[in-house]
Structure formats: structure tokens, C-alpha cells
A and B are shown apart, each in its own frame.
Chain A
Amino acid sequence: MVLTYRPQRYPLHQLRDEMDRLLMGFLGPATNGPLPGASGQPAVNVWERPDALLVEMEVPGVKSDQLDLSVVGNELTIRVERPDGPDEGVIYHRRERPVGPMARVLRLPVEVDSNRVEAQITNGVLTITLPKAESAKPRKVNVTVG
């Protein structure tokens, strides 16, 4: 891969490129393209709170047993099986809803406590709460006057 930099007269562009590359290292795809056996990567939203990370994904039609979550180190893997519709005795005029296995791997920017990860599905929306590890939580440091 050849790295090219914009001329120095656009320092803002260069800064932006470098920030993009830095951020991609965290939440960007850990793999290029879908995982083996998966047909697509569903979109996710990720938030940070002082005590936890929140990951949300829209998974209409998915029951909890069609969902597989794992946290290994700082990687969260979400595997989803979107159920297929009936096939016999029907004619499909449109078939836009994605079906089949799909997966997403997120590289998390902070250490999380994998034992306390919680997930729930409400109205087709999956929400995963990943509490930060103690070492990653913000701490208030008291300054003593000497």
C-alpha cells in the first residue's frame, strides 16, 4: 500500500486523514467485508457513557435464539440470523428484507467487563450494554494542597 500525503498547504486535510485512520483503528471493521458464513454487515450505533459502552442494532424479526454475542478481549462479535419467509405456495412480488446469517465485529476503544455484558431485544432493536472495566472508568483525582 502506498501512503500519499496531501501537500503541506492543506494541513487540515492531513489532520483529518490522520484522525480518520486513528478512529478506524478502533470501531472500524476488524475484518474486510463480511465474516465467513455471513452475507452482510448490519449497521450499528455505538455510544459511550462514563460507565459503559452501548451498542445498538436493528434486527427486525430476530428472536433471542437467533442471536449470538461474544466478547473476546476488546472485540465484540454480533452474529444474527435473519429468518426467511415461507417458500411454498407463495409468489414473491418483492423481496427486500435481508435474510440469512450476518455478522459484525467491533473493536472496542476501552476495556469492558465481559462478565457483565447485557443484551436485550425490544421491538426488533437489539441493545447491548458493555460495562467498562474498572481500570477504564474515569476517576476523580483529588489534589491535596501541600
Chain B
Amino acid sequence: MTNENTIAKPSAEEAAAERTWAGRSFRPNVDILEREDELLVVADVPGATSDSIDVKFEDGTLEIHAVAPPRHAEYGDFLLREYAVGDYYRTFQVSEAIDAAKISAKYADGVLTLRLPKAEALKPRKISVSAG
């Protein structure tokens, strides 16, 4: 009973590598923001908990995997079912040189925020001109 105005979760069909575990997975909506010295990846992963989120950065690929445990079993009979609950999975190619050791992640209110600081060499630098 969804209609065109209903905002539903997209499924993770775009995921590049196929998973070897069963169950549904979803592609979380993300915002990617660039600041002078860092990239921010903000992902909607409602239903996940901070210890169920796995973030990996390897060879320029950022992988987000979050497990949202099923929470509907004890709720009774569905009258209306417009979305399902499952894992979140998404990967990104990060082109900027990132200082992998300094990547940090924060999770609050169903939103995962990743900070990817740019490597020192890529940060804009102001070069002072000395009068000679």
C-alpha cells in the first residue's frame, strides 16, 4: 500500500561484491561532505546499535556494514508493512588520499558519521612569502 510519496529504503542491489550470508540488506542513504581538511560520510542506519556497525577502509575502499537485528517477531500480526528490517551494506571508492589511521566513527540516533581526515600532503597549505 505504498504510494509514490512514500519514502522507502532502497535495497542494496548495487553492492559490488555478493555476500555469503543470508538475509536482506539495504543500501543506506548517505550524505558525503567535503571540508578543507576532511571528508564526512553520514549514513542513515536506523535500528543498528553502535557495536553492530563495522567500518573498514582498505586500498581506498570504504565499507560500511551495519546489522539491524530483527525486532518484529514479538509484535503480533502485521496490518501494514511498508518496509523491512535487515542489514545495511555499502561501499565507496575514496579517491582522495585519506589518513587511514585517523578515521573516526560516531553513532547517534540511527545516524553513523564517519570522519576521514585528508592526508597531510593534500591539505591546503598557506605558504608565507618572506621578504628578502
Contacts and interface: CB of A to CB of B under 8 A. Distances in A.
B74 to A, nearest CB: 9
Contacts, number: 128
A122 to B, nearest CB: 9
B111 interface: yes
A98 B31 CA distance: 10
A60 interface: yes
B42 interface: yes
B128 to A, nearest CB: 23
Interface stretch (A10-18, A51-59, A111-119, A138-146): A51-59
A54 B76 contact: yes
Interface of A: 23-24, 26-29, 33-34, 40-50, 53-54, 58-63, 85-86, 89-98, 102, 106, 109, 121, 123-125
Given A43-B7, A58-B83, A125-B71, 12 more contacts: A28-B1, A40-B7, A41-B6, A44-B82, A45-B80, A46-B80, A47-B79, A85-B42, A89-B35, A96-B30, A124-B45, A125-B46
